[in-house]
Amino acid sequence: MSKKISQKKQVNLTNNETNKQRTTYCVWVAYDGSNFFGWAQQEGLRTIEGTIIKTLARTFNVSIIIHGSSRTDKGVHAYDQVFTFSLPVMIDVEKMAVILNQHFREAIKIKKVKIVANDYNLRDHVKNKEYRYYINCGAFDPFKLNYQYQYGQKLSVHKLKKVAKLFIGQHYFYNFSGLKKDDKHNPNRVINKIKVYRKKKIVIITMKAKGFVRYQVRYLVAAMLDYCQNKVTLDEINNYLSPKQKDKYQYPKAFASGLFLYKTKLIK
């Protein structure tokens, strides 16, 4: 698929009066979030969603609205984000993937495209999401500064697993989130699985759930590390999971560097 062909598509989408039926595309995308202000579109800021919308609108010469499966924070990366958008024309999914990848820069990579029903609600089809947090316990690595938390000291996997057990299941995560008192999002979430393991000098924490509230993963990782550093006890962490606890978690959330939206599993 040449660039000339993709530009021809750009002209035809608005001029072809016979294209009354819209086609909805489900797109799997990976991105390096280092130089973006997160996923969600924000006025005057470079975001993943904003960049995708502008690129699609310019490519196809039509107004575009996209719906993402997740909202990642500033500096957070994704191996497997998903979004949907519609066009007033049908294009073969393989050609669509080629066209899109021609117009995105190196930081954003289209992995797969699928056609879905026009009434397809992406959020309703998310079965679970898996986030992974990478911690470098070895020597400082400047080349991985944006992709691993440069912890630089020993870290007990045993203690991380011990505190992780507190978070598994359904809990009140308001005190481990960026939610405000007037926020309408439900702070109760169910974490299906937390896994902690080591690969040489890298400790990896994975969390799997249908959904997370804002900053939840980063606050939970922070609490796990704080416990390992004896800043907080298991009882204190457990108290923050209670609606009766009015004070939010007292220590900062973990750095965005090192966090990846690793997998988004959809209901078939």
CA distances from residue 124 to 209, 224, 241 in whole angstroms, order as listed: 14, 31, 27
pLDDT at position 209 over 50: yes
DSSP tally for the chain: helices H, then strands E? 6, 10
pTM here is: 0.90
**Residue 248, φ and ψ in degrees, nearest 5:** -75, 165
Q: Which of 133, 92, 94, 90 is nearest to 111 (CA)?
A: 94
Model pLDDT, residue 16: 46
Contact 239, 246 (CB under 8 A): no
Model pLDDT, residue 20: 58
Kindly report the length of the chain. Answer: 268
DSSP, res 242? S
pLDDT at position 14 over 70: no
Catalytic residue ranges: 73
- pLDDT band at residue 68 using 50, 70 and 90 as cut-offs: very high
